[in-house]
């Protein structure tokens, strides 16, 4: 009876592990393409499991669109030199991201270029 109970616990643990890994899927992002957005930081959410950047982008028609960009974990970004104060509301930046496949205003963070030319994140050219 104990061996059956142990087997059931192992099977349940396997399902929980699969679910935990599933939240890290990036299949919703078009990783073959990049978008370069120029805008103003509305908010930088330094939170686990991933940081978020809310970027206000003014389109050619003059309308402001808010983009939600998902980044890496705070721990990973901290090792790259980021801090919770790296992006502050009102900062003008250029942000490169892999866009959402759905076409909505969102994506996965690649890098951010600050006004002084400092690049935070991976240094790649669009569509490299």
In this structure, of 15-19, 60-64, 69-73, 111-115, the range with the lowest mean pLDDT score is 15-19
Token pair listed for 119: 């690049």
Question: Rounded distance, CA 3 to CA 120, Å?
Answer: 52
Domain annotation covers residue 11: no
- Does residue 33 carry a pLDDT above 60? yes
Question: Rounded distance, CA 67 to CA 95, Å?
Answer: 10
Domain annotation covers residue 87: yes
Domain annotation covers residue 79: yes
CATH number of the domain residue 92 falls in? 2.40.50.140
Question: Rounded distance, CA 111 to CA 35, Å?
Answer: 11
CB distance 97 to 69 below 8 Å: yes
Whole domain around residue 101: which residue ranges?
Answer: 28-121
pLDDT digits (tens, 9 = 90+) for 71-128: 999 999 999 999 999 999 999 999 999 999 999 999 999 999 999 999 999 877 666 5
Share of the chain above pLDDT 70, in %: 77
pLDDT at 84: 97
Domain annotation covers residue 126: no
Question: Rounded distance, CA 116 to CA 94, Å?
Answer: 11
Q: Look at the chain and report how many structural domains it folds into.
A: 1
Please name which of 96, 83, 110 lies closest in space to residue 39, comparing C-alpha atoms: 96
Domain annotation covers residue 97: yes
In degrees, to the nearest 5, what angle opens at C-alpha 116 toward C-alphas 111 and 118? 35
pLDDT at 20: 47
């Amino acid at each position: 009876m104990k061996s059956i109970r142990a087997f059931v616990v192992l099977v349940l643990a396997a399902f929980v592990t699969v679910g935990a890994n599933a939240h890290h899927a990036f299949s919703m992002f078009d990783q073959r393409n990049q978008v370069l957005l120029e805008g103003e930081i509305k908010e930088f959410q330094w939170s686990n499991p991933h940081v978020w950047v809310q970027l206000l982008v003014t389109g050619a028609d003059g309308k402001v669109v808010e983009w939600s960009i998902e980044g890496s974990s705070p721990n990973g970004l901290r090792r790259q030199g980021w801090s919770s104060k790296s992006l502050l509301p009102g900062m003008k930046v250029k942000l490169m991201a892999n866009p959402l496949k759905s076409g909505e205003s969102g994506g996965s963070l690649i890098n951010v270029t600050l006004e002084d030319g400092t690049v935070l994140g991976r240094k790649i050219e669009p569509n490299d």
